[in-house]
Structure 1
Amino acid sequence: MNIISASKGKQTHVHEFLGSTQFAEKGKERHNHRFAGVTGEAIPIGKGSHIHEFRTNTDFTVNHYHVLKGKTGPEIELPDGHHIHYADVVTSFDDGHRHRAEFATLIVPRG
């Protein structure tokens, strides 16, 4: 995966994202993590559609963190002309477990 490389040519666009993982473990160890980041630039996938790659770390809680990385799905058009992307991934395996995370990116501001 060519994660989040800056373009030397014409830049396209990126999306912010944030969320919380699903809970993992049981009892006193049961917990989740928060995350936030910015995707890489648009990656064309044909027929005028595109996806984005992303990579970020979760927060540090219960003495560990996880890496969250993957690719979004194709754009989801909104009625106002903006678009978002959906992602559903599993974190890295750390401290004996993983977390599932699903989120929608934020819209790209116009200006």
Structure 2
Amino acid sequence: MCYNRNENRRHEHDCLMHVHDVEGPVQIGGRRNCLHFHCFDTTTSRGIPCGNCNHYHEVEFITDIVDCHCHKFCGRTGPAIQTGNGEHIHLIESVTCYCNGHKHCIKIATGTEEPIRC
């Protein structure tokens, strides 16, 4: 799903009118005596152009509650990575907000199925 700025603007618009499902666990973290992980499930924003031939998505979620706390994440995916057959994924490598004395690392990919068209 690569687009060229010199191509028809409608094609560019159509390429960005999709979202991705993102779900999974954040990495194990917490205080030494209370290691745990959280799960999340969300949908990205529509595609946002970056560079001459790629895009990213905004991502926001709040994890599930474990030991009376949760974590928030607000960030973005990396650029699209082609997986073949015209499909692509995006990687997210970051950390959640600090809560209850700790934060969690996030290393996950958006769904590998065909993006959801808006």
TM-score tier after normalising by the smaller chain length: 0.7 to 0.9
TM-score by length of 2: 0.79
Of 18-27 and 65-74, more deviation after overlay is shown by 18-27
Counterpart contact for 1:43–1:52, Cα < 8 Å:
yes
Unaligned regions of 5+ residues in structure 1, if any? Answer: 1-8
Report if the CA contact (8 A) 1:57-1:66 is conserved.
Answer: yes
Partner of 1:26: 32
Counterpart in the other structure of 1:17? 22
TM-score (norm 1): 0.84
Aligned to 1:97: 102
Gap runs ≥5 in structure 2: 1-12
* Deviation by residue 1:17-47 (Cα, 9 ceiling, x = unmatched): 01111111222x1111001100001000121
Runs of 4+ more than 6 Å apart: none
What count of residue pairs does the alignment treat as equivalent? 101
Q: Which amino acid aligns with 2:72?
A: V
Instruction: Note the alpha carbon deviations across 1:49-86, whole angstroms, 9 max, x for none.
Output: 00001000000011000002211010010122101100
